[in-house]
Structure formats: C-alpha cells, structure tokens
Amino acid sequence: MEICLNKDINTVVEVLENSIAEELEIQVGDEILSINGQKIKDIIDYKYLISDEYIDLEIKKTNGDLVVYEIEKDYDEDLGLVFSNPLIDEAKSCSNNCIFCFINQLPKNMRETLYFKDDDSRLSFLQGNFITLTNMSEEEIQRIIDLRISPINVSVHTTNPELRKQMLRNINAGKILDILQAFDQAHLEINCQIVVIPDINDKEELEKTLRDLYNLKNSVHSVAIVPVGLTGHREGLPKLKGYDKDLAIEIIDQVEDLQGEFLKDSGSRFAFLADEFYILADRDLPADEAYEGYPQIENGVGLVRNFSEEVNLALRDLEVSYKEAEMTFVTGTLAKDFMEDIRKRILKKFPKYKINVKAIENDFFGRSITVAGLVTGGDIIKQVADVDAYKNILIPSVMLRAQSDYFLDDVTLDQLENALDRRVLVTEVDGEKFIKLLAEV
Ligand code: SF4
C-alpha cells in the first residue's frame, strides 16, 4: 500500500491493495481529471460516476502525461482510490446558531478543529454525521434525490416550523417537513435525531414531531431522542434546563407509550430513547430485542444494553480463571453503577482479580456532563492520582479523539501513564474485546 500526504483534493493519496487501481498501476500522486468525460465536483459525483460497469478514467500522471484508462468492472465495485480529503471538496459549515449547540459551550483554548461546525450532507452519507438541511439550496436537495444519496442522518429536533427556527436560530430552518416529505416520496433512507430540551421541544411538541416523522413511512427508519447536553461554559447563551430524574421518568413514560402504539401499527418501535434517560431515571434499560438491531447505537441509544449483552456472552464462554491481576475501570459518573455491575459479573469468572471502578467528575466541561466520552485526561490525572488505583487503568476508547492518543483536552495517553505511573489500557466499547483484554492483562 502506498501513502502520501499530498493535499490536492483530487490527488490520489493511497491505492488500496488488490484493487482495480493497483492492477492498473495508478499511483500515489496521480490526479483524477474526469470520469466518463465529466469533471468531479465532490465525492458524491465520484461515487455516482464510478458506479457504472464501464468507465473511462482520465488521469494526469505525476510526470505530466495524460492517460485514459478504459475500465470494465462490476456495477458497484470500488476502484480502490483514496483522496486526501474524503469529500474531494471542502466540508460545508453549518449556518445555524442552535440554542443548545455543544460547540458553543466548549471551553476556550481547545484545538481549533474542535470548533468547526460541519453540516454537510456528504459527511452524513459517508460518515453518518447528523445534518440539519438548513444550508442547502433547492438544487442541492434535488441532487440528493436524483443521485439517491442515502442513508442520511437528519437532526430534526422539531417539525414545528416556528419552533425549529427559534431552536436553530435560523430563519431557513422551518422547511424541514417539506424537505423530508420530498425525500419520503423518493424513498430515501433517513434516520433522525431529536435533541430534546425540557419546556422547549418536549411533551406535546415531541409527540407531534414523532407522529409527523412516523407518517414518513417510506423513508424515516428510526428516530433517536437524546437529552440536551449543558456544559458549565454557557456564558451569554440562552438559559436552558437539563434533564433530572423526574423529567427522565416523564419522557420515558411518554415515549414508551408511543413506542407501543407504533409497534402495534407497524411492527417497529420507531423512536428510541438515549441510554442516559434510563440511567438518570434509575429504570432498567430496555431488553436487547427492544432496540431492534440498534439502528442508532452511535447516538448513545442502546450502547449500554448492547455492551452488557456482549459481556454476558463473552463471560459465558469462559472457564473460571484463578489468574491474578489488578485493574481500575475509569468511566464517567453516568456509567458508575453499570460498571460496578459489570465488575461483579467479571469477578465471578476471575475471582482472584482485584478490580475497582473510578467514576470521574467532569471538571473540564462542567459536572453536569456525566458521559464517559467527554471525560478528559486532565480530570483523570487529578482524580485518579488520589485514590487507591490499581496497576492497570482501563479507559474506553470513546474518551480519545478518533484514531488518536489524545483526550479532548489534548492530554496524551503517554502523559496520563507518566502522571499516574500506571499502565493505561484502552478498550473499545465492545463487550467481547473488553473481556478478551481483561483476560490477557
Ligand atoms: S447544527 Fe446547531 S448544534 Fe450542530 S453545529 Fe450547527 S449550531 Fe451547533
């Protein structure tokens, strides 16, 4: 495999092994000029144009030669080319100023890229990002329909036009239902998310939104309902209320009633609540089958139930081991009881292990932020150093930025290990891999 760091957007930076491109000896640094005579505007054009069985690929080689490759391939076979920018274009930034935007609530002086607000349909299609559809022209909406760009993840929040304009602080935000109806007629696959805020888009507003989305039966497959996240850095931002135990109980009862109705009508619960509501309410999480294949697990919907089931399965297949080891599980305060429960289950199979759980209070973002994914290295250093932490510290990979060794506050894994003078192990949020890692410590 060849890799280079050339930043030209349509320049090849990697040729995948055993691919058509490798067979044709296309090389890193070659530049794609056109496919079937058409220039490529972005990744959507590229994917669309290469989906043919016969394509003419025009390339400018690194020595300046122009070459046209005539390629015959299977209908949806990839060429095996990777570009420096996965979009083959600049990402579109968002045109909203949502009252609940997490980026507006970040502490100052964080890495600049963390403040970039993307809202790009192509990133939704490629990486599953949620988009609001507020920064797209009619032509761009039509392009999604014509090229059948799907699945798309849409941040709806509410279908009430006026309320949506207020929540997103964008006068263009009110047309969401019209756009979704157009997608519905085209049978595109859509998954939606609602960030719910007490006294803003909950109760009757939430019910109306869910019913509107449910009526888009050709396209909307699932809706995730997630609670607003409020950090301690909201100076100058609108006053919002977060979720507490009573409010969490209320929304669970409301949504579970609707789920029952949808299930009876269509065979699917359709709308799913984030794990956080159940943990806040001190209610049992829904059963594995109630998540219907976990369509919104990336959104924190069913993550805990899925992990728990995976741990059970992995432990079931293990013999009792009398090996000795010691470790501290580090998590956010939300998952403390859950991890205590996992600890007890593990000790039945590893009775000689010493395990404790350390839940980190989030001083970096504010103590109302309780999820493990937003725990920072600095807070771990401050809070774990003082307790009786064991030789091995286990952290979930969600605490680190994607494919990196950095926490959100730029502390690195090495710095954490040095500061704590302990070995730090990173585990994926995958019960089988987690147990495998534990067994190997
Ligand atoms: S869409 Fe709203 S929440 Fe998302 S980045 Fe833009 S302003 Fe923030």
SS3 of residue 209 by DSSP: helix
Ligand 1 pocket mutation, candidates 117, 176, 195, 299, criterion most atoms within 8 A of CB: 117
The dihedral through the CA atoms of 81, 83, 86, 87 has a sign that is: negative
Contact between 123 and 129 (Cβ < 8 Å): yes
Give the number of the atom of ligand 1 that is nearest the alpha carbon of residue 131. 1
State in Å: Cα 38 to ligand 1 middle.
34
- Asked whether 97 lines ligand 1 (CB < 6 A), one says yes
| Residue nearest to ligand 1 atom 5, measured at CA | 117
Contact between 416 and 377 (Cβ < 8 Å): yes
- Asked whether 114 lines ligand 1 (CB < 6 A), one says no
Question: Does 58 score more than 60 pLDDT?
Answer: yes
pLDDT of residue 317: 82
Contact between 104 and 144 (Cβ < 8 Å): no
| Helix pair 138-146, 176-185: axis angle to 10 deg | 20
What is the pLDDT confidence band of residue 125, given thresholds at 50, 70 and 90? Answer: low
Q: What percent of the chain has pLDDT over 70?
A: 95
- Asked whether 132 lines ligand 1 (CB < 6 A), one says yes
Ligand 1 pocket mutation, candidates 92, 104, 118, 119, criterion most atoms within 8 A of CB: 119
Number of H helices, E strands in the chain: 14, 15
328 strand-pairing partners: 356, 393
pLDDT tens, position by position, 347-370? 999 999 999 999 999 999 999 999
| Residue nearest to ligand 1 atom 3, measured at CA | 101
Q: What angle do CA 235, 241, 247 make, to 5 degrees?
A: 160
Phi, psi angle pair for 82, to nearest 5°: -120, 135
Tokens describing residue 288: 């594995």
| Residue nearest to ligand 1 atom 8, measured at CA | 101
CA separation for the pair 51, 134 (Å, rounded): 29
State in Å: Cα 132 to ligand 1 middle.
8
Rg of the chain in Å (alpha carbons): 24
CA separation for the pair 104, 102 (Å, rounded): 5
Q: How far is CA 362 from CA 195, 371, 426, 441, in A?
A: 21, 9, 19, 28
Q: b/e per residue, 43-73, with b = 16+ CB within 10 A? A: bbbbbbbbeeeebebbbbeeeeeeeeeebee
Question: Does 6 score more than 70 pLDDT?
Answer: no
pTM given for the model: 0.85
pLDDT of residue 5: 33
Question: Does 44 score more than 80 pLDDT?
Answer: no
State in Å: Cα 170 to ligand 1 middle.
11
CA separation for the pair 439, 406 (Å, rounded): 26
State in Å: Cα 162 to ligand 1 middle.
17
DSSP-based helix, strand, coil % in the chain, nearest 5: 40, 20, 40
Ligand 1 pocket mutation, candidates 99, 114, 168, 231, criterion most atoms within 8 A of CB: 168
Question: Does 386 score more than 80 pLDDT?
Answer: no
**Which of 55-69, 74-88, 227-241 is predicted with the least confidence, judged by mean pLDDT?**
74-88
Ligand 1 pocket mutation, candidates 92, 97, 102, 103, criterion most atoms within 8 A of CB: 103
CA separation for the pair 141, 164 (Å, rounded): 19
Q: Which position has the higher pLDDT, 19 or 123? A: 19
Q: Are strands 81-83 and 130-131 parallel, antiparallel or unpaired?
A: unpaired
From the list 257, 252, 293, the residue with the least C-alpha distance to 275 is 252
CA separation for the pair 134, 171 (Å, rounded): 9
Tell me how crowded residue 234 is: count the other CB atoms within 10 A of its CB.
14
Contact between 399 and 372 (Cβ < 8 Å): yes
Contact between 219 and 190 (Cβ < 8 Å): yes
Contact between 410 and 111 (Cβ < 8 Å): yes
CA separation for the pair 168, 101 (Å, rounded): 9
SS3 of residue 170 by DSSP: coil
CA separation for the pair 352, 99 (Å, rounded): 50
- Asked whether 94 lines ligand 1 (CB < 6 A), one says yes
133 strand-pairing partners: none
SS3 of residue 281 by DSSP: helix
From the list 424, 340, 430, the residue with the least C-alpha distance to 375 is 424
pLDDT tens, position by position, 170-187? 999 999 999 999 999 999
